[in-house]
A and B are shown apart, each in its own frame.
Chain A
Amino acid sequence: MSIKRAIALIILFYFLALLQTSFLVHFNMGRWLGWTPNLIFILVIFWSLFGKSEDFLGVFNALIGGFFLDVFSNRIIGFNILILLAIVLFIKLVFKKYVRIPTLKKT
C-alpha cells in the first residue's frame, strides 16, 4: 500500500468520523431502521468483504476508522479499534478458510 493511498484513507476516515459524529447524529434513523447507520463500520466491513484477502488494507482501515471513531466519541481510545479489528480478522479468517474463489488455470 502506497503512502499516498494511506494518507487518502486517513483523510477519508477522518471526514467520515466527523460526518458520523456531527451530521448523522441529527437524523433519528432509529425511527425507521432501529439504529443509526455507522458509515465507518459499513465501509470497513465492505472493504474486508470485497477487498483482496491477502491485502493488509482491511486491518489498516479498521485501525484508522476505529481510531477516529474513538477520538470523536466519549469512549476510551481502542474500543472501536478492537471491535473493527476483530470483525475484519474474522472476515479474513472465514474467507481464507471456507471461501474458495474459482480461478482460471492457464493450460
Chain B
Amino acid sequence: MRLFSKKSKFSQKNKFLLGVLIIILFVLVLNFFQKEVKTFFYTISSPLQESLWGIGDRASDFCRGIVEIKEIKNKANELCLKNQRLLAEIAILSQLKKENKILREALGINLQKDFKLTLAEVIGKDISQDFILINKGSEDGILEKMPVITQQKSLVGKISEVYKNFSKVMLVSNKKCAFDAKIQEKNISGLVKGKGNFKILLDFVPQNEKISQEDIVITSSLGGLFPAGLLVGQIEEVKKSDIEPFQQVKIKPIFNIKEINFLFVITEY
C-alpha cells in the first residue's frame, strides 16, 4: 500500500515535470512560427482592434480633457496668486521710487545738511480741520511741536499729537497756529496766524511797510517755534486800512495740501 502511495507521488511529480517540459517545448516551437502565429491573430483581430483603438482614443481624450481642466484651473489659480504677489511688489517698488525721488530732491536743496530729518508718509488728511496724519510716531523719535516741512523746505505745520506709530500734524493754517515770520529780503516781521480752511494771514505788519504781492514769507527764529528760513508762503493780498494800526496780509501757501504724500519731520535743528 505504502509502495503504491510512493509510486503515486512519484508519478504525480513526473506528470508535473512532464507537463512543464511540454509547455516549454510548446513555447519554443511556437517561437519558430512566431511570425505566422502573430500574423494569424492580427488578421482575425484587426477589425476589432481598430474599433477598440478608436474607442480608447476618444475615451482617453475625454478623460484627459477632464484632468486637464483641473490642471488649467490650478495653473490659473497659481498665476492669479503670482500676479497678486507681483502687483504687491510693484506697489512697494513704486512707493520706494517715490520716497527715493523725494529724498533726492531733499538732498538737492541740502535739507539733510541743515536739519536732521525723518521722512514720513501722509496717511490721512482732514483739510477742513487743518490736520493731517503721518505714519511716524514716538517709536520713530517724533515729539510734539516738531516742525513738519515738504521737500521744498516749505513749512507745513507742527506735530500736535504723537502716538506710537503715527502723529497728528497741525497745519500752519489751523486757527490755533501762530508763529513769527518775516518777509524775505525785507526786514519786515509779523505774526503768521492760521485762519482755518487752509488760509493764512500775516498780522502785525506796520502800516508804513511796503509789501508787494510777489514777496515771500519765511519763518523767523524769534518765537523759537520753528527754525528760521522755512518757506511759509507767497503774499496774495494786502489789506490796508487807516483805522487799523497794522496791515493784514493774506498769504498763499506754496505747497498744495491735496498733492502732498510725503513730508519731513525736523527732529533736530
Contact = CB atoms under 8 A, between A and B. Distances in A.
B33 to A, nearest CB: 9
A85 B31 contact: no
20 contacts: A14-B45, A18-B45, A21-B49, A22-B52, A23-B59, A27-B56, A27-B60, A27-B63, A63-B23, A67-B30, A68-B41, A72-B45, A77-B31, A77-B38, A78-B27, A78-B28, A78-B31, A81-B23, A82-B27, A85-B23
Interface in B34-63: 34, 37-38, 41, 45, 48-49, 52-53, 55-57, 59-60, 63
B52 A19 contact: yes
A21 to B, nearest CB: 8
Residue from B27, B28, B30, B37 whose CB has the most chain A CB atoms within 10 Å = B27
Nearest to A78: B27
Interface in A54-103: 59, 63, 67-68, 71-72, 76-78, 81-82, 85
A9 interface: no
Contacts of B63: 27
A76 B34 contact: yes
A77 B36 CA distance: 12
B56 to A, nearest CB: 4
A23 B31 contact: no
B34 A18 contact: no
Main secondary structure of the interface of A (DSSP, over half): helix
| Chain B interface size, under 10 / 10 to 19 / 20 to 34 / 35 or more | 20 to 34
A23 B34 contact: no
Interface in A11-41: 14, 18-19, 21-28, 31
Interface of B: 19, 23, 27-28, 30-31, 34, 37-38, 41, 45, 48-49, 52-53, 55-57, 59-60, 63-64, 67
Nearest to A63: B23
Given A25-B56, A78-B28, 7 more contacts: A18-B52, A21-B49, A28-B60, A28-B64, A63-B23, A68-B41, A85-B23
B56 A78 contact: no
A67 B38 CA distance: 11
Contacts of A68: 41
A26 B31 contact: no
B40 to A, nearest CB: 9
A103 B53 CA distance: 48
A82 B26 CA distance: 12
B203 to A, nearest CB: 84
B56 A77 contact: no
B55 A23 contact: yes
Nearest to A81: B27
A77 B60 contact: no
Residue from B31, B34, B45 whose CB has the most chain A CB atoms within 10 Å = B45
Contacts of B60: 26-28
A42 to B, nearest CB: 18
A63 B52 CA distance: 24
A63 B20 CA distance: 11
Residue from A27, A28, A78 whose CB has the most chain B CB atoms within 10 Å = A78
Contacts of B64: 28
